[in-house]
Amino acid sequence: MFTGIVTDLGTVRAVTRDGDTRFEFTTAYDTATIAIGASICCSGACMTVIETGPDWFAISASGESLSRTTMGDWAVGTPVNFERALSLGDELGGHIVSGHVDGVGTVVSITPEGESKRFVFEAPEDLKRYIASKGSVTVDGVSLTVNEVDNRRFGINVIPHTQAVTTLGRLAPGDRVNLEIDMLARYVARLLDKE
């Protein structure tokens, strides 16, 4: 489990495509404290660490992960948001995030709003019913509050700090992003389904 509070902004340092795809990432984390088998949220996708080095760690991504996230687009130099898994007693600063990407959205527009930027994203059709004004959504692993919803599109504000310490500050219209809907919204919708 995660909270959507990004604690490191790393980059892809190597990609090996042979069966599953191996990604190596540079990181500021103390990799001596990362156990093999640990979970790290990589731009919204919970992945398992398979190897570490002095300033890097590696994961292996299956075809399923590549097809259902933006990971299939990643190349050497791609910036990636990281969050280590919660430990008992950690602060819950964002909202409960599973690291299971529900779909890929698109950046529609980015406009300045004071010192912040107003982002409008478009979600896949099957996710729109789970996104609510003043609810939570995870974009590339970042916990955000939804300002407004218009069919498949939703708007959020991103403050300068978040722009600086996550990949969100590097986004442009047309870019694809990993989306995870709020866990509560998923279960409420399921309970309300008439079957």
* Nearest alpha carbon to residue 14 among 74, 83, 82, 63: 74
Cα atoms in the 13 Å half-sphere on the side-chain side of 104: 12
pLDDT of the chain along its 195 residues, tens only? Answer: 899 999 999 999 999 998 899 999 999 999 999 999 999 999 999 999 999 999 999 999 999 999 999 999 999 999 999 999 977 777 777 788 889 999 999 999 999 999 999 999 999 999 999 999 999 999 999 999 999 999 999 999 999 999 999 999 999 999 999 999 987 777 777 677 755
Residues 6+ apart with CB under 8 A from 125: 152
For the chain, domains (ranges, CATH) are 8-84 (2.40.30.20), 103-192 (2.40.30.20)
